[in-house]
Copies of this chain bind each other. A is one copy, B any other.
């Protein structure tokens, strides 16, 4: 609760105010015990599990605690119990807006359930990632790995230590949250086919990206089903800049429509093509993935297969918290839906000119 306009907050130069009795550091359960006239262990009980003490003492203790403005010392609590009310989140690239959704989904879910989130990034390096993960493991109750780059065995090893949830990748034996690409890709390819496209290019992401592989498979399958030709192009990096660089390959591929591993690539590609006077979507249709913030700022606005990243973050955190609280779940993969967001960057192919 919010305290009732308690004592002075002021004391700009005067560091700390005294607690009830003496004039020193933060109040402990001993101070409370003294004020309430009970034993420290009783205070501990009253403050952690409400129900192990009589209603009367409970109230005395709570009053004393409030009066002294007591707060538990998380470290002291963590020492015997090992629990910290803290969740870890490691993202592959904090620069990539794809992860913003995940971060905020996880953060809000965590704080809503009275946990706080620790954030780290791996800078797309599996080594950095592992280091960060190990470091976090010491401090958190559970860990969320978003688009991890380390190999499966390492992930399983971590998961053997404390609960781990993986986003954007499937790891056997570890709970995962992954967008199910099929629906969205199917919609995208059908839309392109209906608009007269015959040859589709897929611009891949980083080789270690599990998700990039799935998306390519999905594109292949959907193309086959729609009797379209699919070619795969490689990108140097999954960024706007990487998208610009791949424009030349896209052009020479002869494809009239291109799906990119993510929206960043799509946006960079579109910029570069337009700079070369290629009209989007009349000459080339572009479809991204993820529907990141800003995907609808472009002209034409970007058609994209939406992956609900914030939902992934939320679901992952929820899953993790449920596991931590014993609300058991089968160790399985949670799939979230993807869908085509049809905007202006894809459309009918205009021949000739």
Contact = CB atoms under 8 A, between A and B. Distances in A.
Interface in A13-64: 13-16
Contacts of A14: 160
Nearest to A79: B75
A100 B101 CA distance: 11
B118 A118 contact: yes
A248 interface: no
A124 B2 CA distance: 17
Nearest to A78: B75
Interface in A113-156: 116-121, 127, 132, 134-136, 138-139, 153-154, 156
Nearest to A137: B71
Given A117-B118, A121-B107, A153-B10, A15 B160 contact: yes
17 contacts: A2-B127, A9-B153, A12-B157, A13-B173, A14-B160, A15-B160, A75-B78, A75-B84, A94-B108, A100-B100, A103-B103, A108-B121, A116-B135, A116-B136, A117-B119, A294-B294, A298-B299
A251 B139 CA distance: 54
A107 B118 CA distance: 10
Contacts of A157: 9-13, 15
Nearest to A157: B9
A213 interface: no
A120 B107 contact: yes
A68 to B, nearest CB: 15
Interface in A148-196: 153-154, 156-157, 160-161, 173
B104 A95 contact: yes
Given A71-B138, A74-B138, A107 B119 contact: yes
Contacts of A2: 127, 326
A138 to B, nearest CB: 5
Copies of this chain, complex-wide, total: 2
Contacts of A104: 94-95, 121
Nearest to A156: B12
A94 B75 contact: no
Given A2-B326, A326-B2, A94 B116 contact: no
A99 to B, nearest CB: 9
Contacts of A103: 94, 103, 119
A97 B293 contact: yes
Contact of A75 (B8, B9, B75, B294): B75
A71 B86 CA distance: 19
A267 interface: yes
A113 to B, nearest CB: 13
A236 interface: no
A69 to B, nearest CB: 10
B119 A118 contact: yes
Interface string A70-103: 0111111011000010100000001101001001
A111 interface: yes
A134 B86 CA distance: 15
A116 B117 contact: no
A16 B158 CA distance: 10
Nearest to A123: B108
